[in-house]
Amino acid sequence: MQRFLGKLLVFWFLFLLGILGILLLPLPSRGYHLAILDKHRLLDAMGSPKLVIAGGSNCAFGIDSLALTEALGMQVFNLGISAGFGLGRILDDAGSFLREGDVLLIIPEYSHFTDNWNGSATAYELIFDARQYRFLLHPGLYGLPGGLPSHITTHLLGFIAGFRPPNPLAYSRDGFNPYGDYIGHLEMENQAFKSVPALGNLDQRALNRFFRFVESCEKQGILVILSYPSYEEASFTASTELIRTLDGILRERIPVISRPETYCFPRDWFYDTVYHLNKEGRRQRTEALLGDIEQAGLFPLSPYARTSVP
């Protein structure tokens, strides 16, 4: 019996060691999510004051940060990469680069307040592939991401095959510009995608954690404001009630500079998902965001600001 238990223990030890090895297999060096390393380097070199945009890929694919920089007369950097990192993790990351006098513009995906606060399998690429182990768990702000079996399976298949399947949509670390915006898709044709059904119920625990983070920033002299993501109109319609409820809750606790319906856009303005804008959608969204910032009056636009985004 003791021999059997010993063998069983060795088996599980080797099995877990193998899983750990698979988890630590890095992404290809140009993998899209590894752009977080480049963004950290660029942000670390920026002084203050600056405006940092935090959110998922709705930010990465849908904002012209150069246009914002020129209009506001201050440094603007887009930290957005993927909603799958989880909003708690995204905010934790952004917070480490913010100083007194900085502005944090949060533009979350709606799912961050329903079932994606802690993130999905994508978060494990941030943690293990990009070697950002500190983002595994932050008690009080976020828990472990979901989707670990999916992440392990993806890595295991890649290990067995000796490669990872190429991304047909050409997502790449090289697709980001120096302002943190993803521009690798702007000259590509729109791809087929499905609208998203009703999102479900709001996660009160996620909201509580969100407001605690905002309060912490405000105590450090950081201005926190919130806008809304671009969202494909059929998907928006399916979750209109939830979105309006969320908007009412957020306005009670944080400066909200936008209306959700402003960013309910036609399907033709999206590239490949309900959040990813194409060239025209990005232009329209950036103009709308500039208008919201100006109307909020939190800081003046530069006298040299362009009246429209090319």
pLDDT at 118: 97
End-to-end CA separation in angstroms for the chain: 75
pLDDT of 276 higher than 60? yes
pLDDT exceeds cutoff 90 at 15: no
Among 168-177, 278-287, 297-306, the range scoring the smallest mean pLDDT is 297-306
Q: Which amino acid is at 271?
A: Y
Q: Taking residues 291-298, what's their average pLDDT?
A: 91
Count helices and strands (H / E) in the chain.
11, 6
What pLDDT does 31 receive? 85
Q: Where are the beta strands (DSSP E) in the chain?
A: 50-55, 75-78, 103-107, 223-226, 231-232, 264-265
Q: What is the pLDDT of residue 161?
A: 54
Distance separating alpha carbons of residues 29 and 11, to the nearest angstrom: 33
Inform me whether the pLDDT recorded for 17 exceeds 60. Answer: no
63, 53 contact by CB (below 8 A): yes
Residue 141 and residue 137: Cα distance in Å, rounded?
8
Percent of the chain predicted with pLDDT > 70: 81
Residue 155 pLDDT: 66
Residue 29 pLDDT greater than 70, yes or no: no
Q: Which of 9-23, 153-167, 213-227 shows the lowest mean pLDDT across its residues?
A: 9-23
> Quick check: 25 pLDDT over 80?
no
CA 145 from centroid of its chain's CA atoms: 14
User: Do the bridges between strand 103-107 and strand 223-226 make them parallel or antiparallel, or are there none, so unpaired?
Assistant: parallel
Q: For residue 142, name the pLDDT band (cuts at 50, 70, 90).
A: very high
More confident residue, 289 or 17: 289
Q: What pLDDT score was predicted for residue 22?
A: 52
pLDDT over threshold 70, residue 124: yes
Count Cβ neighbours within 10 Å for each residue of 139-164 and write b for 16 or more, e otherwise.
eebbbebbbeeebeebbeebeeeeee
> How buried is residue 201: exposed, middle or buried, by Cβ count under 10 Å (0-12/13-18/19+)?
exposed
Let me know: does 69 contact 43? Beta carbons within 8 Å: no
> Two tokens at 229?
């993501």
Q: Which fold has domain 36-116+175-296?
A: Rossmann fold (3.40.50)
Distance of alpha carbon 89 from alpha carbon 86, whole angstroms = 5
Give tens-digit pLDDT for 63-110. 999 999 999 999 999 999 999 999 999 999 999 999 999 999 999 999
Sequence-distant (≥ 6) Cβ neighbours of residue 303 within 8 angstroms: none
Residue 2 has pLDDT above 80, yes or no: no
Torsional sign, CA 90, 119, 12, 154: negative
pLDDT score, position 162:
54
Instruction: With a cut of 80, say whether residue 156 has pLDDT above it.
Output: no
Is the predicted pLDDT of residue 10 greater than 50, yes or no?
Answer: no
Ordered by start, the domain boundaries in the chain are 36-116+175-296
- What average pLDDT does this structure show over 32-46? 96
Residue 140 φ/ψ region, left for φ over 0, alpha for ψ in the -120 to 50 degree band, beta for the rest = left
pLDDT band at 129 (very low <50, low <70, confident <90, very high): confident
In this predicted structure, the answer to whether residue 123 has a pLDDT above a threshold of 70 is yes
Which residues does residue 138 pair with via DSSP β-bridges, in sequence order? 142
pTM score, two decimals?
A: 0.88
Which of these ranges, 36-40, 103-107, 145-149, 199-203, has the smallest mean pLDDT?
145-149
The answer, yes or no, to whether residue 308 has pLDDT greater than 60, is: no
